[in-house]
Chains A and B, each alone.
Chain A
Amino acid sequence: MLQTKIHNITLKNPVMTASGTFGYGEEFADFVDLNKLGGIVVKGTTGDRRQGNPYPRMAETPSGMLNAVGLQNVGVETFCKDVYHRIKDLDTNIIVNVSGSSIEEYCKTAAMIDKLDKIPAIELNISCPNVKKGGMGFGTDPAMAAQVVSEVRKIYHKTLIVKLTPNVTSVVEIAKAVEGAGADSVSLINTMLGMAIDVEKQRPYLSTITGGLSGPAVKPVAVRMVWQVAHAVSIPVIGLGGIASAADALEFLMAGAKAIQVGTANFIDPSITMKIIDGLEDYCKRHSINDINDIIGII
């Protein structure tokens, strides 16, 4: 009833977890039956181990939060040697979020992940700044987005999902560019660039001044972007941004997403993904829907 497909991977249900919000899954094993998830997108992984930004890295804002974690992770080598063996036998789709500061770094990571049998897909996080191009985001320029995707496409042979940033004038233009460059699917949205100031201390809350906004506050923007992109490309769209209930997930599905990811909501209720899956099942029963795909993209 809930089974869905992204390119050639089958998901038990459309509910996945969003990169950077669910660790490697292990952190949530006491709260969630990980094998019940449609998929787990693990932490952003880079060519080398990264320390990330200095503390403070988060601030709560109305119905959301800002973060400036800055891609702290163990690096692709440790991921392959160590983390992978701890999680590879889970009965769900484990997808690695691949991040980087240069095309070479993206390619190095993608090539190493390509060799891991139990990883059916990568999610290319193109919201990162390109250090070789003055820090301009890969994902904010259609030509640069297409270039990184086509280079990774040459060396990566499994399902290639490209994660889009909302910090652009036209997300449709970027989506079309990465589709043209060989992406098998797009996921959106990554966090929205934001900022908050502690007026008592007269300084920004984040060490980096600006950071990424996530949580329910971004949901209407995310639904709008998913709807626009789903109508503009023919590859499957994965929707995320502020999902905290089955009803939220259904909004994204109806707007055209074949699957959804849950991020910040995991912090508020670590068992939320199970509730969303149950809620989707319940919705289908109540509305006599035999196949969840029947409501995907009905708007």
Chain B
Amino acid sequence: MKKHITDFKIVKKKVYNATYFALTLQHPSTLPEIEAGQFVEVEIPGNKHVMLRRPISIHDVDSEKSQLTLLVQVVGKGTKTLSQMEEGETLNLVYPLGRGFSQEGKEVLLVGGGAGIAPMLHLSKCLSAKGTHCTILLGGRSATMIPVQEEFRPYGDVYFATEDGSLGEKGLVTQHSVFGAEYDHIYTCGPTPMMKAVARHAMEKGIECEVSLENMMACGVGACLCCVVDSDEGHKCVCKDGPVFNAKRLTNWIKK
């Protein structure tokens, strides 16, 4: 899949709360095809403390309008600068990067936690368009940490798990009542401990499971070898061989 470097225009900014916001970006002409689970490397303009691009998942795609949306959690310098950008401003992206989700399975579970909710929206859209039935389970510490909720409704049955019980069932996603049901495929993205717990469960039950990793990156294109994960075939680049991996390939990572 050909990679591009393109200036996009911010056409919509949606602020969910102090930590989460979304930017909808307009491609200057026709947006190339994008797989669910792929990501972009965003240049952070005007912050002399940030030199490297930041990897962000593709949250949503509107191919008719040639727009894509990023859902971002403010965690540090770069994401803070992004949160201060306004509609009309320009963002330079290197994209689409990495390998996305396989989109296999007929009865599937999507588990998103924190900023890991981001890639789940485009994935649920793609899956439901193929006629796959999606159970979508979103988790966070509290309701505010699950910024995107209603947007998922058209694409599956949506459930929530919060640690403080402010939305959906109280507890972790792995404790949720729908978590243990029968699925033929699980897709997950979120904090590492959550993904490992989901992957362990899937492996025990013999369910195919794909995890989307968020390792720190420099180049994003497989050149620097900074972003590696320990797989059963040795070190693999999260940016190029992933970010989505079948959990079966990551037994070393899951053990650690």
Q: Tell me if A30 and B230 are in contact (CB < 8 A).
A: no
Q: Please state if A51 and B234 are interface contacts (CB–CB under 8 Å).
A: yes
When the two chains form their complex, are residues B5 and A52 in contact, meaning their CB atoms are under 8 A apart? no
The verdict on A67 contacting chain B, using a C-beta distance below 8 Å, is: yes
- B52 near A268 (CB under 8 angstroms)? yes
Most buried by A among B49, B219, B226: B226
Q: By the criterion CB–CB under 8 Å, are A67 and B226 in contact?
A: yes
A150 at the interface (CB under 8 A from B): no
Would you call A156 an interface residue if the criterion is a C-beta within 8 Å of the partner chain's C-beta atoms?
no
Q: List the A side residues contacting B255 at CB < 8 Å.
A: none
* Contacts A31-B3, A267-B218, A267-B219; A69 near B226 (Cβ below 8 A): yes
Interface string of A55-73 (1 = CB under 8 A from B): 1111110111101010010
Q: How far is the CA of A45 from the CA of B218 in the complex (A)?
A: 21
Chain A residues within 8 Å of B49, by CB:
62
CA distance A27 to B226 in the complex (A): 14
Closest to B238 in A: A55
Interchain CB contact (< 8 A) of A52 among B3, B50, B235: B235
Q: How far is the CB of B54 from chain A (nearest CB, A)?
A: 10
A23, A58, A64, A267 — which one has the most chain B CB atoms within 10 A of its CB? Answer: A267
In the complex, chain B residues whose CB is within 8 Å of the CB of A20: 224-225
What chain A residues lie within 8 Å of B234 (beta carbons)?
51
Minimal beta-carbon separation of A74 from chain B (angstroms): 10
Docked CA distance A8–B115 (Å): 54
Asked if A215 is at the interface (CB within 8 A of a chain B CB), the reply is yes
Which of B48, B94, B225, B230 counts the most chain A CB atoms within 10 A?
B225
Give CA–CA (A69, B219) in the complex, Å: 13
Q: How far is the CB of B103 from chain A (nearest CB, A)?
A: 24
Shortest distance between the CB of B101 and any CB in chain A (Å)? 22
CB within 8 Å for A55 and B228 given contacts A267-B52, A268-B43, A268-B53: yes
Instruction: Annotate A263-292 by CB proximity to B: 1 below 8 A, 0 otherwise.
Output: 010111111000000000000000000000
User: Majority SS of interface residues in chain B?
Assistant: loop
Chain B residues lying within 8 Å of A22, measured Cβ to Cβ, are: 223
Decide: B218 and A63 in contact? CB cutoff 8 A.
no
Complex CA gap A145/B38 in Å reads: 45
Number of interface residues of B (CB under 8 A): 31
Q: How far is the CB of A153 from chain B (nearest CB, A)?
A: 30
Q: Is the CB of A65 within 8 A of B228?
A: no
- Find out whether the CB atom of A27 lies under 8 angstroms from the CB atom of B222: yes
> Is residue B142 within 8 Å, beta carbon to beta carbon, of the partner chain?
no
In the complex, which residues of chain B have a beta carbon less than 8 angstroms from the beta carbon of A31? 3, 5, 94
Closest to A69 in B: B225
Q: Does B71 contact A (CB under 8 A)?
A: no
Q: With A21-B223, A21-B224 as given contacts, are A55 and B230 in contact (CB-CB < 8 Å)?
A: yes
Cβ–Cβ < 8 Å partners of A55 in chain B: 215, 227-230
Contact A270 B224 (CB under 8 A): no
Nearest chain A CB to B52's CB is how many angstroms away?
5
- When distances are taken between beta carbons in the complex, the residues of chain A under 8 Å from B148 are none
Residues of B close to A65: CB separation below 8 A: 51-52, 218
B223 A27 Cβ-Cβ under 8 A? yes
CB-based contact B228/A63 at 8 Å: no
Whether a CB of chain B sits under 8 angstroms from the CB of A54 is yes
A56, A63, A64, A69: the one contacting B224 at CB < 8 Å is A69
Query: Contact: A30 with B228, CB < 8 Å?
Result: no
Alpha-carbon distance A63/B48, docked complex (angstroms):
8
A57:B2 contact, CB within 8 angstroms = no
Q: How far is the CA of A65 from the CA of B219 in the complex (A)?
A: 12
Q: What's the Cα separation between A64 and B51 when bound, in Å?
A: 7
Q: How far is the CA of A124 from the CA of B135 in the complex (A)?
A: 55
Cross-interface CB contact of A57 among B43, B48, B94, B228, cutoff 8 Å:
B228
Known: A28-B221, A31-B3, A51-B234. 14 other contacts (CB 8 A): A23-B223, A27-B240, A30-B3, A52-B225, A55-B228, A57-B226, A60-B51, A63-B51, A67-B224, A69-B224, A215-B51, A267-B53, A267-B218, A267-B220
Seen from chain A, the residues whose Cβ lies within 8 Å of a Cβ on chain B are 20-23, 27-28, 30-31, 51-52, 54-60, 62-65, 67, 69, 72, 215-216, 264, 266-271
Chain B residues engaging chain A, CB cutoff 8 angstroms: 2-5, 43, 48-53, 94, 215-230, 234-235, 240
24 contacts between A and B (CB under 8 A): A27-B221, A27-B222, A27-B240, A28-B221, A28-B223, A31-B5, A52-B235, A56-B215, A58-B216, A58-B218, A58-B226, A59-B216, A60-B50, A62-B49, A65-B218, A67-B226, A69-B224, A72-B225, A215-B51, A267-B53, A267-B218, A267-B220, A269-B5, A270-B219
